[in-house]
Amino acid sequence: MSKRVLHGVKAIIPGKSSVVDILIEDGIITGMEKSEERASLTAVPGFIDTHIHGFAGCGTEDTSEQSILKMSKELLKHGITSFFPTIYTDTLERIENDIAAIRKAKGKEEGARIMGIHLEGPFISPKRIGAQNPDGQRNPDVKLFKHFIEISGGLLKAMTAAPELEGFDELLETAKENGVVILAGHTDACFEDMKRAHEGGLSHATHLFNAMKGLHHREPGAVGAIFSFSDMNTEIITDGLHVHPEVVKLTLKIKGYDKVVAITDSLRPTEQEDGERLANGVPVVLRNGLWVTKGHEDLIQGSSLTMLKAFHNLLDWGVEIEDAVALTSENAARLYALDDVGRIEVGKKADIVLLNADNTINEVIRG
């Protein structure tokens, strides 16, 4: 049996902080007692990223088990202990191969743990396709959805879909029966479309404001619906670029800290050290923190955010550390029923990021 004690750390536990000694045995937190020592390190739960396409020159689009495993290893260095490799909308063959690669990698990770797959499409709006492959877009198809669930071996945990498309209601019902969370995203849904979907059980949304109908005083749109329905949860990209910091703060004021999940939506070349920068097969360059299409710099492909930077941004914007932890760990664990991660608590996996006084990483522990 392996045993370790973290002496005198300031642990951020749900809603509060406390200086404690943490006993870890075989990767599980088995004890936590108040400490008389003066804390020099802060312990936060390992970050959970439920929407990430790639990292360090590897991505889901590589259809490679080894790419997923390298991605896992590199993510751990930045504090992510659990993640959902996120698959783009693409041809059916490509999606199937992406799922197969992730399934093969599951259980072999040396870094961040694969806790599920997020399928971003293909049941999304052609009007809000974004950087997705339009050739893969299609209306909701329950038979195809069940096929994705089956070939994932139960790993499919999240799917982004557009509520206004024909067949969405049946898709949502099937998802509930199979433990998959449907997120409204890449959608041109009006308020009434969102209201109908919400009444049918829709409770989550993909990267708020981005690739969805915005708030207008005569048509509240998807954004207005997400703000209006108090039990709706939403992702948000907290790079300060996809959504202005003041709008992030406004969202937190409206929704509360328990209804928002910070994500990176980062792409394959994020933190890549060398080699050609590609995102979903498209050459990209970094401009002002965003990946843009090489030769067409006005076309944004996506984020270069890390979860550590997302966490730092939230603190810089005045979010208390206990609330920042909710956004980067606790909320995702609760929403996706990841029962053994997301909190520093007896009985949970010892997924812990130890932070220095300036909130840089001192050590990442994966239980």
Confidence label for 25 from pLDDT (cuts 50, 70 and 90) = very high
Q: Are residues 56 and 174 in the same domain?
A: yes
Confidence label for 1 from pLDDT (cuts 50, 70 and 90) = confident
Phi, psi of 26 (to 5 degrees): 50, 45
Q: Which residues pair with 183 in a beta bridge?
A: 160, 204
Q: Which residues are catalytic?
A: 265
Which of 83, 100, 200 lies closest to 148 in space, CA to CA? Answer: 100
**Beta-carbon contacts of residue 276 (< 8 Å; ≥ 6 apart):** 283
pLDDT at residue number 36 = 87
313-341 confidence digits (pLDDT tens): 999 999 999 999 999 999 999 999 999 99
**Beta-carbon contacts of residue 78 (< 8 Å; ≥ 6 apart):** 47, 271, 306, 307, 308, 361
64-82 confidence digits (pLDDT tens): 999 999 999 999 999 999 9
> Is position 187 within any domain?
yes
Structural domain span for residue 32: 3-43+357-365
pTM above 0.85, yes or no: yes
Q: What percent of the chain has pLDDT over 90?
A: 93
Which of 122, 162, 152, 153 lies closest to 138 in space, CA to CA? Answer: 122
Q: Are residues 100 and 17 in the same domain?
A: no
Q: Are residues 13 and 101 in the same domain?
A: no
The tally of domains found in the chain comes to: 2
Six token digits for residue 275: 């080699």
**Beta-carbon contacts of residue 166 (< 8 Å; ≥ 6 apart):** 139, 140
Place of tokens 């191969």: 97
Judge whether 351 and 365 are in contact, CB under 8 Å. Answer: yes
Six token digits for residue 101: 């690669």
156-173 confidence digits (pLDDT tens): 999 999 999 999 999 999
DSSP string of 327-340? IIIIHHHHHTT-TT
Q: Are residues 19 and 112 in the same domain?
A: no
How many residues does the structure list for the chain? 367
Distance, CA of 99 to chain centre: 17
Question: 105: burial class by Cβ within 10 Å (0-12, 13-18, 19+)?
Answer: buried
Q: What percent of the chain has pLDDT over 70?
A: 100
Mean pLDDT for 32-59 is: 96
Q: Are residues 91 and 232 in the same domain?
A: yes
Q: Are residues 236 and 291 in the same domain?
A: yes
Q: Are residues 20 and 137 in the same domain?
A: no
